[in-house]
Amino acid sequence: MAVISTDLLVIGAGSGGLSVAAGAVQMGADVTLVEGGEMGGDCLNYGCVPSKSLIASAKAAHAIAHPAAPGVTPGAADPDYAAAMAGVQEVIARIAPHDSQARFEDLGVRVIRAWARFRSPREVEAGEHVIRARRIVLATGSSPLVPPIPGLAEVPHLTNETLWDLRERPRHLIVIGGGPIGIEMAQAHRRLGSGVTVIEGARALGREDPEAAALILDRLRAEGVAIEENAPAAEVRGSDGAIEVVAEDGRVFEGSHLLVAVGRRANTDGLNLGAAGIETTRAGVRVDGRLRTTNRRVFAIGDAAGGLQFTHLAGYHAGIVIRQALLGLPARARTDHIPRVTYTAPELAQIGLTEAEAREAHGARLEVARFDYSGNDRALAERKPEGFIKVMVARGKPVGVTIAGHQAGEHINLWALVLANGVSMKSVTAMVSPYPTVGEISKRAAGAYFSPKLFDNPLLKRVVGMVQRFLP
């Protein structure tokens, strides 16, 4: 076997791994990247990119049948599901060159297309190569979790990895799992003409603010998606085109296709982590606050690190690792400033603590500032009045923001900046938003925080009265 010595070995060419490799090689390190599957990882090939492409087609189909503006006659939408799925592949193909082996080799990265396996704490075998590295980064991502539901293994079912192979529109899609992936794909398929039933063992969008989740779920129900909560799946039976899911309480749900979307598990199998002295947990690789594994020469980032599972988190982790592995500087990861978005219509975005979490953490010190979309002129003009923003504030600084409504994922960007840098609510009020934009909701929420302090303040009113008597 050929022996390679390198400064930095990155295992996994998903979002996080590619970010580490690109940053490190451009900073002068000798970098080796190992990937046994597709360049670009889950996000490009099976996750963020394809799902948002399909959602865009579904949004366009819905707009034809349900135009929001007066003077526009509704049309008969008969979406071409095969064309929509083909469009998904076109979008992937347009983005793929940015994540390609050729691009990274042009940057100076040594790319090996093989599965990696540890031989020792500092050596990894990949194909015909043995790689000895000063530092190693595990960026192996995650895969769909398929639960041990009786009968599921014998019944045809889809995951987010196999869904994109479909070309014939499902007559009726059953979705096991009411989290973001399941809810997003439920609405998209309903808008593209499928019947849809979501089966959730507890509460759909259960991690989210209940009021915000209810707004999203009510919209899906209004569009014809059946959402069955508190319905743990006890059995799956049937065959291709005729599938039944039996809930623990005896309810039976029938459909033509089944999508399993109950979560994800870190990809650690086959790495022989024990040979490197790397411990794992039920969630993934065990890491400390600096993203170091129990082998201090090895870092784990993104989904592999067993925490939050977002592409943007993996990119953030990449910067934390580069600072340590290349510059020898300490750096610690945090999660309080990491946003998340459910890309339904309307969208649901969250950063920091929800209201319930903030009340538990801050008690009586917590203040909640709120502004509704119905008070925003642009939202009214766009016929998108449903929704709200809530800002949880402690000691004058936001500790969490919930936005449910039109383009919530875009509007959370401002608050990501605010929470990342410890910006005060006073600073947010100094911002001038262009009128009319939906983005004004953030400015108005900050104003709602200060309004009671200004307008319900008897002392301030007395001071103003005295000043007015003496002004010329």
Q: What is the pTM of this model?
A: 0.94
For all residues of the chain together, what is the average pLDDT?
Answer: 95
What was the pLDDT predicted at 458? 74
Quick: pLDDT tens for 417-432: 999 999 999 999 999 9
What was the pLDDT predicted at 324? 96
Residues contacting residue 311 through CB under 8 Å, at least 6 positions apart: 15, 43, 47, 48, 302
Instruction: Please check the confidence at residue 68 and state whether its pLDDT lies above 90.
Output: no
What was the pLDDT predicted at 464? 65
Q: Residue 105's pLDDT band (boundaries 50, 70, 90)? A: very high
Instruction: Please check the confidence at residue 454 and state whether its pLDDT lies above 70.
Output: no
Cα–Cα distance, 224 to 66 (Å, whole number): 14
Number of C-beta neighbours around residue 398 at 10 A:
25
- Secondary structure, 3-state, 261-302: CCCEEECCCCCCHHHHCCCECCCCECCCCCCECCCCCEEECH
Which of residues 70 and 397 earns the better pLDDT score?
Answer: 397
Fold of 2-39+100-144+265-327: FAD/NAD(P)-binding domain (3.50.50)
Quick: pLDDT tens for 264-294: 999 999 999 999 999 999 999 999 999 999 9
Answer yes or no: same fold for 152-262 and 340-455.
no
Written out in words, the top-level CATH class of the domain with range 340-455 is alpha beta
Q: Is 59 helix (H, G, I), strand (E, B) or coil?
A: helix
Cα–Cα distance, 83 to 54 (Å, whole number): 10
Quick: pLDDT tens for 173-232: 999 999 999 999 999 999 999 999 999 999 999 999 999 999 999 999 999 999 999 999
Query: What number does CATH give the domain 152-262?
Result: 3.50.50.60
Q: How many CA atoms lie within 13 A of 443 on its CB side?
A: 12
Q: Residue 91's pLDDT band (boundaries 50, 70, 90)? A: very high
Output phi, psi for 233, to 5 deg: -75, 125
What was the pLDDT predicted at 70? 83
Instruction: Please check the confidence at residue 36 and state whether its pLDDT lies above 80.
Output: yes
Q: Residue 461's pLDDT band (boundaries 50, 70, 90)? A: low
Instruction: Please check the confidence at residue 345 and state whether its pLDDT lies above 80.
Output: yes
Instruction: Please check the confidence at residue 358 and state whether its pLDDT lies above 90.
Output: yes
Domains of the chain by residue range: 2-39+100-144+265-327, 152-262, 340-455
Q: Residue 81's pLDDT band (boundaries 50, 70, 90)? A: very high
Helix (H) or strand (E) holding 336: none
Q: Is 185 helix (H, G, I), strand (E, B) or coil?
A: helix
What was the pLDDT predicted at 460? 62
